[in-house]
Amino acid sequence: NAGVMQNPRHLVRRRGQEARLRCSPMKGHSHVYWYRQLPEEGLKFMVYLQKENIIDESGMPKERFSAEFPKEGPSILRIQQVVRGDSAAYFCASSLLIGSTDTQYFGPGTRLTVL
């Protein structure tokens, strides 16, 4: 059973471009979480999704950021018109049950650098 997959592992974008981060949860997991981590910081919750539904996006900036988890395919975190402050590591995690009561399995992360 493959773990949580994220790609790309590293992404470089210029200011104003779009960044697309992909996350494939573990097989059988329908709960996906996205987090952002700045250097020397903990993980900040961004969004919680189930298949075709955004359950909680309270941690996601209202503008430029969006997330989806379609019926088929990976979950996508999309950042439009990136700015330097978006540079960070973005992790996704999946769980079998709701992640607040269950183990979350993390992917290796995507490191976004905005030039």
Residue owning tokens 């573990």: 26
The secondary structure of the chain in percent helix, strand, coil, rounded to multiples of 5, reads 5, 50, 50
* Residue 86 DSSP label: G
The two structure tokens encoding residue 56: 């909680």
Nearer to another protein, 74 or 99 (CB): 99
Residue 103 found at the interface with another protein (CB under 8 A): yes
Under rule CB under 8 A, how many of the chain's residues touch another protein? 27
The two structure tokens encoding residue 85: 């402050």
Residue 101 found at the interface with another protein (CB under 8 A): yes
| Closest CA relative to residue 112, chosen from 32, 1, 24, 6 | 6
Residue 75 found at the interface with another protein (CB under 8 A): no
Nearer to another protein, 18 or 38 (CB): 38
Name the minimum Å distance from CB 41 to another protein.
Answer: 6
Residues that bind another protein (CB under 8 A): 4, 33, 35, 40-45, 48, 55-56, 59, 91, 93, 98-109
